[in-house]
Chain A
Amino acid sequence: MIDATIWPARDYSRVPYRLYHDRELYEREQERIFRGPVWHYLALEAEIPEPGDFRAARVGDTPVVVNRDRDGEIRAFVNRCAHRGALVRRELSGNANEHICIYHQWCYGLDGRLMAIPFRRGVRGKGGLDRDFDMGSHGLRPLRVAAVNGAIFGTLAQDAEPLDTFLGATILAEISRVLHRPVRVLGYTRQRIRANWKLYAENTRDNYHASLLHEFLVTFGLDRATQVGGVRMDARHRHNITWAEADSDTAEAARSAYNGANIRNDYLTLRAPELVEFRREREDNLSLIITSIFPSVVFAVISNSLAIRQIRPRGVDEVEVHQTLLGYEDDTPDMALHRLHQANLVGPAGLVSMEDGEAIELAHRASRPDRDRTTVIELGGAGVISDRDYRVNDVPLRGFWSYYAELLGIEPPDAVR
């Protein structure tokens, strides 16, 4: 059983491999994190605009359905019949007046209430349910829901802090900004990676790897560690924004910085340079804004591509990364096309993201046999966990682990937070 003694360092600069491979721990994560007092991204209001629209979601291993009821309210439930525990809504999305379990046709309203049970009084006075069976206490189990500019979050814990507090002002401001005007879903991508979900969650907080692993960024001069950038966290350091400013370094400075890094720096050119053309859309000049929200959702703005990535654990050894690609309703046709072009940068086949799948599989595979050994998280220094205004750091990984340890009840004495 993993406890607070697991940590070799109280600043989380060393993470034992065991934490990526332990099956008992996975179950505890489901209980304390995914069914715990944490908010999870479910869907966009834009995906369920009409009453009766529904969409399947996942909160860890728990299947969830989110729908808009007759009054236009957003509601979410555990997608599981109160009778035999079967999945009620089988489709990934659609429109319906009610949710009916196919097994015995128990029927639930869009408010989750149990509406009807076939043969409730039996047939010809025989069989059926007892008279005192309480329909009212056998609805679909509700989630608490809240939204930020149309991004719907839910939690199974009635005692979770309010969503705004959970996100904190910095993160709230950034998501509000990305979703500051109505969005349109351009499509979805999915990817199954044979690695523990936390390796992916760490990867999105790792500023250090970006231009080293994703060589396309440097080879084609799109994004480099020499740019002005850094990391910004919430007060509890559980969430993180990795950011970088466009055109904030010179090719000369980059060449000398990457000298000896085994990365070609002759800056090849693309035949279709619009693929990496950054069109400024906001007051700041940020061309990279990766907002990682604990535990499992990422709002990624890479150049002009906009995406929401959900990290969906599938057991201790596999994770699904589900990506929702977005544009704005009022994009000009030219901008809409530009976003479709830049979708080439991200996702399972993304020119600047495909490597992530390989990298975390390598980490998962090689760390498995030697569980007492540890990773090293020390870029940007060990010790205090705080925002940084430079790119060569992986400090937010330690923030992730700090909150993780707190939730799982394995925080070491005098832990750095």
Chain B
Amino acid sequence: MTIDPLALVALFAEYGALLDAGRYDDWLTLFAAECRYTIMPRENYERGLPAALIFCDGRAMLEDRVQALREANKYNIHSDRHVIGLPRIVAERADGALSVEAPFAVFQTDQEGETRLFATGLYRNRLTARGGSELRIAEALVLLDTAAVPTLLATPL
């Protein structure tokens, strides 16, 4: 299957825009029916340590995380801005699955208008092509360079 690079870029653009708009339910639609979402400090990943900051092992846990964010958790009042670099195709499998990477930076702005660099890292995602066309995220591994999380991590990266 030939991948349209623009479709890949559009997926990441959509991903960042939906998160920054706080449209978490719409963000969930970018994931495949069977999916995983993990935010892991790079220092753990490189040492082969399995623990993550967020480990949604299946779609149900990912939906729970979004529900908890909306219904239960309290966090610093802020807005996010994702700046996602150009994605790179790492591997392409015969069944149409793709391994892709993209670097990112997320800035947080508080109510006073003060912005800080919140996180940088690398998305290392596995994508599937539904019906041969629409790309969906089967696995998102967010490798976090900024292992020293500023204050707390609530809204997804």
**B50 adjacent to chain A (CB < 8 Å):** yes
Give the distance to chain A from B63, nearest Cβ to Cβ, in Å: 5
Flag the segment in A191-199, A375-383, A397-405 that touches B.
A191-199
**A348 adjacent to chain B (CB < 8 Å):** yes
Contacts A188-B43, A189-B53, A271-B61; is A354 near B153 (CB within 8 Å)? yes
Using Cβ atoms and an 8 Å threshold, which residues of chain A touch B44?
Answer: 187-188
CB-CB contacts of A349-361 with B at 8 A, as 1s and 0s? 1010011111001
Q: How far is the CA of A357 from the CA of B64 in the complex (A)?
A: 22
**B54 adjacent to chain A (CB < 8 Å):** yes
Contact B148 A349 (CB under 8 A): no
Using Cβ atoms and an 8 Å threshold, which residues of chain B touch A325?
Answer: 51
- How many A-B residue pairs have C-beta atoms within 8 angstroms? Tell me: 124
Flag the segment in A36-44, A68-76, A211-219 that touches B.
A211-219
Q: Which of A192, A213, A351, A354 neighbours the largest number of chain B CB atoms within 10 Å of its CB?
A: A354
Using Cβ atoms and an 8 Å threshold, which residues of chain B touch A25?
Answer: none
Contact A348 B50 (CB under 8 A): no
Using Cβ atoms and an 8 Å threshold, which residues of chain A touch B147?
Answer: 188-190
Number of A interface residues in the complex (CB < 8 A)? 39
Contact A275 B64 (CB under 8 A): yes
Q: Which residues of chain A (333-389) have a CB below 8 Å from chain B?
A: 337, 340-341, 343-344, 347-349, 351, 354-358, 361
Q: How far is the CA of A35 from the CA of B55 in the complex (A)?
A: 38
Give the distance to chain A from B71, nearest Cβ to Cβ, in Å: 6
Number of B interface residues in the complex (CB < 8 A)? 36
Q: How far is the CA of A271 from the CA of B28 in the complex (A)?
A: 15
Give which listed residue, B51, B57, B151, contacts A191 with CB less than 8 A. B151
Flag the segment in B16-24, B73-81, B99-107, B130-138 that touches A.
B73-81
Using Cβ atoms and an 8 Å threshold, which residues of chain B touch A271?
Answer: 60-61, 63-64
Contact B55 A341 (CB under 8 A): yes
Q: How far is the CA of A219 from the CA of B67 in the complex (A)?
A: 11
Give which listed residue, A187, A216, A264, contacts B51 with CB less than 8 A. A187
Using Cβ atoms and an 8 Å threshold, which residues of chain A touch B68?
Answer: 216, 219-220, 351
Give which listed residue, A191, A268, A320, A355, contacts B73 with CB less than 8 A. A355
**B35 adjacent to chain A (CB < 8 Å):** no
Give the distance to chain B from A44, nearest Cβ to Cβ, in Å: 13
**A186 adjacent to chain B (CB < 8 Å):** yes
A contact face: mostly helix, strand, loop, or mixed: mixed
Contacts A268-B67, A358-B76; is A340 near B50 (CB within 8 Å)? yes
Contact A220 B72 (CB under 8 A): yes
Contact A192 B150 (CB under 8 A): yes
Contacts A188-B41, A216-B72, A355-B75; is A343 near B51 (CB within 8 Å)? yes
Q: Which of A340, A344, A349, A351 neighbours the largest number of chain B CB atoms within 10 Å of its CB?
A: A349
Using Cβ atoms and an 8 Å threshold, which residues of chain A touch B154?
Answer: 349, 354
Using Cβ atoms and an 8 Å threshold, which residues of chain A touch B43?
Answer: 92, 188
Contacts A268-B67, A271-B63; is A192 near B149 (CB within 8 Å)? yes
**B49 adjacent to chain A (CB < 8 Å):** yes
Q: Which of A185, A187, A188 neighbours the largest number of chain B CB atoms within 10 Å of its CB?
A: A187
Using Cβ atoms and an 8 Å threshold, which residues of chain A touch B71?
Answer: 219, 264, 268
CB-CB contacts of A194-232 with B at 8 A, as 1s and 0s? 100000000000000000010110011000000000000
**B5 adjacent to chain A (CB < 8 Å):** no
**A123 adjacent to chain B (CB < 8 Å):** no
Contact B153 A188 (CB under 8 A): no
**B91 adjacent to chain A (CB < 8 Å):** no
Contact A189 B41 (CB under 8 A): yes
Q: What would be 8 A-B contacts, judged by CB atoms less than 8 Å apart? A: A187-B51, A192-B148, A271-B61, A340-B52, A344-B55, A354-B153, A357-B76, A361-B151
Write the residues of chain A forming the contact surface with B, with a CB cutoff of 8 angstroms.
92, 185-194, 213, 215-216, 219-220, 264, 268, 270-272, 275, 320, 325, 337, 340-341, 343-344, 347-349, 351, 354-358, 361
